[in-house]
Amino acid sequence: MEKIIKIRQFIRVLKNDIIQNYHQFRINTPQDPYAIVGRSKPYRILFILSHMRSGSSLLTHILNSNPDIIGYGETHIQYTSEADFKRLMLKVYWQAQEFRKIQDIKSLSMYQTYILDKVLHNNKFLDDNFLVSENVYSLFLLREPKRSLASIAELKPHLNQEQVLDYYVQRLSRLEDYAKLINSKKRSLFITHAQLLKHTDLVFEALKIFLDTKQGFSEDYQILKTTGMRDVGDYKGNIKIGRIVRTQRKLETQVAPDLEEKGMRSFEECCATLSNYCRTIES
């Protein structure tokens, strides 16, 4: 029995080494940050640009369940240039192969159009000039402050409410900067958490047109190995159910009214800016 276990472990390690070498060869051989060996079309990079507790994990799962898109959550890569997209590809495909059967050839064909990452913090783009690339698409997602601030405070109990507000305000300000820099309604779409829940069909229609995917989007999504994992995405909500849940869990934290008011001003200003520079949902 012990010998069989050792053989299985050896086979598993060998298989992983082969897959890693395969990915590294295909991804790292070309210098073009959007190209891989054996693929005629360049990849497109798809960023969810948002803030903590915005519904970004839900949106990630909805997007990732479309066969044209591959990702798994927040990769925490610090981007300095387009060259870092190679790191993103390697990280995403390595995670993807862990929840796909090796017998499925599609798991190794690397056929998707978009490589997905979500970015929720200001320190992840050390240089954001690559956002203007024709191969980079951005989905801006915002959530109103009352629920966002209370949820962030529960997620980060070491922060006081003023610090939570400061994160939210600074993050929304940076999202405005990104939208102005990109300045393209072809490559940027703005949606809100409320629209995702209340005008789901309109959001799905807009996503299909914006990303030009072959298939549409569904309220049911694939559960991944990383679903509900800390530091990847939501681990407190209903994300493991596998479909959109519109009933929100009860929050114990109450945000001070003056802080909520300041957050609402930032939210409204950011919505106005994003609506001016990005494609929007007509609801």
Tens digits of residue pLDDT in 5-27: 777 887 777 888 888 899 999 99
Give me the pLDDT at residue 97, please.
Answer: 65
List of E strands, the chain:
44-49, 69-70, 114-119, 136-142, 188-192, 279-280
Sequence spans of domains, the chain: 2-280
Average pLDDT over every residue of 75-83: 97
Nearest to 112 by CA among 55, 72, 83: 72
Count the neighbouring beta carbons within 10 Å of the beta carbon of residue 274.
26
Q: CA end-to-end span of the chain, whole Å? A: 62
Give me the pLDDT at residue 101, please.
Answer: 46
Give me the pLDDT at residue 253, please.
Answer: 87
Q: Where is average pLDDT lowest: 16-25, 84-93, 94-103, 118-127? A: 94-103
Average pLDDT over every residue of 155-163: 95
Q: 3-class DSSP state for residue 208?
A: helix
Question: What does pTM read for this prediction?
Answer: 0.93
CATH of domain 2-280: 3.40.50
Average pLDDT over every residue of 238-254: 87
- Percent of the chain exceeding pLDDT 90 equals 76
Distance CA 39, CA 54 (A): 35
DSSP β-ladder status, 114-119 and 69-70: parallel
**DSSP 8-state assignment for residue 104:** -
Distance CA 192, CA 142 (A): 5
Give me the pLDDT at residue 98, please.
Answer: 54
Encoded tokens for 32: 């073009």
Q: pLDDT at residue 1 above 90?
A: no
Nearest to 71 by CA among 84, 83, 57: 57
pLDDT of 170-219, one tens digit each? 999 999 999 999 999 999 999 999 999 999 999 999 999 999 999 999 99
- Under the phi-then-psi rule, with left for phi > 0, alpha for psi from -120 to 50, and beta for the rest, what region is 267? alpha
Q: pLDDT at residue 78 above 80?
A: yes
* Mean confidence (pLDDT) of the chain: 92
Q: pLDDT at residue 106 above 60?
A: no
Distance CA 150, CA 152 (A): 6
Give me the pLDDT at residue 103, please.
Answer: 41
In sign, the C-alpha dihedral spanning 45, 51, 52, 54 is negative
**DSSP 8-state assignment for residue 223:** P
Q: pLDDT at residue 118 above 90?
A: yes
More confident call, 29 vs 13: 29
Rg (CA), the chain: 20
Distance CA 52, CA 168 (A): 8
Residue 193 near residue 55 (C-beta atoms within 8 A) = yes
Q: 191 has which bridge partners?
A: 141
More confident call, 125 vs 241: 125
Average pLDDT over every residue of 94-123: 77
